[in-house]
């Protein structure tokens, strides 16, 4: 019987993955930013997985970097155009990024289900013993590791999509891009909400 603490931790974390990435909505829905926001892995879960598996991914700042990269690309390529032609060009820039994020979320979900199934086989075999326990445990460990890796990759892809989407939305409105400011964004949301409430009185 394998007594690897990291394997045990992975087994505990994996069921949470199946709850974080909500499916099978993406099997029917067309890839979009709304869908990405709906199925994106929880950043807290991702941080736990990175710590558990010892991955060296730095997930901080990925969204902001993608935001700036897309803004610079738009400026260089002159994609910020007026009219429907410019809007369509900007949409085309975002689509493959969104599709990749959705695809990775799907793969992460499927991998987590496979890992949970393999882990259950190990639990069942432990009560019976036998020569097959070691290979079953090794396979469960490998599948859980793979599911964890895909969960992190899916998170990174969703963050890149969110960053690129922000830059593109700014360009579509014909506004000048500026780095994301959490306090300014929160203030703007509060002002919008107060304005909306005042207009309904």
Residues 40, 155: contact at Cβ < 8 Å? yes
Residue 1 maps to a domain: no
- Write out the residue range of the structural domain in which residue 90 sits: 12-179
Question: Which pair of structure tokens corresponds to residue 151?
Answer: 């969960």
Q: Where is average pLDDT lowest: 68-77, 136-145, 181-190?
A: 181-190
Please determine, for residue 93, whether its predicted confidence score (pLDDT) is greater than 90.
yes
Per-residue pLDDT at 82 exceeds 70:
no
Task: Give a yes or no: residue 21 inside a domain.
Answer: yes
Report the pLDDT value the prediction gives residue 113, as an integer from 0 to 100.
93
**What's the confidence (pLDDT) of residue 6?**
39
Exposed/middle/buried for residue 147 (C-beta within 10 Å: 0-12, 13-18, 19+): buried
DSSP letters, 137-174, are HHHHHHHHHHHHHHHHHHHHHHHHHHHHHHHHHHHHTT
CA of residue 66 relative to chain centroid, distance = 14
pLDDT at 15: 42
Is 33 within the bounds of a domain? Answer: yes
DSSP 127: T
pLDDT beyond 50 at 9: no
Instruction: Enter the pTM of the model.
Output: 0.76
The answer as to whether 147 is a domain residue is: yes
Query: Residue 21 in contact with residue 112, Cβ under 8 Å?
Result: yes
Q: How confident is the model at residue 199 (pLDDT cuts 50, 70, 90)?
A: low
Number of domains in the chain: 1
């Amino acid at each position: 019987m394998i007594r690897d603490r990291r394997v045990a931790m992975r087994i505990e974390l994996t069921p949470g993955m199946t709850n974080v990435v909500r499916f099978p909505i993406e099997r029917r829905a067309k890839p979009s930013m709304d869908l990405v926001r709906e199925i994106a892995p929880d950043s807290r879960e991702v941080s736990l997985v990175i710590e558990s598996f010892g991955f060296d991914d730095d997930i901080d700042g990925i969204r902001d970097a993608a935001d700036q990269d897309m803004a610079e690309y738009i400026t260089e390529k002159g994609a910020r155009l007026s009219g429907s032609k410019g809007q369509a060009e900007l949409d085309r820039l975002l689509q493959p990024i969104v599709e990749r994020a959705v695809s990775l979320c799907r793969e992460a979900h499927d991998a987590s289900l496979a890992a949970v199934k393999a882990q259950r086989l190990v639990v069942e075999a432990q009560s019976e013993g036998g020569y097959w326990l070691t290979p079953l445990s090794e396979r469960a460990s490998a599948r859980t590791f793979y599911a964890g890796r895909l969960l992190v990759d899916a998170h990174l892809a969703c963050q890149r999509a969110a960053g690129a989407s922000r830059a593109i939305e700014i360009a579509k409105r014909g506004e000048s891009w500026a780095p994301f400011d959490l306090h300014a964004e929160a203030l703007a949301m509060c002002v919008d909400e107060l304005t909306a409430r005042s207009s309904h009185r």
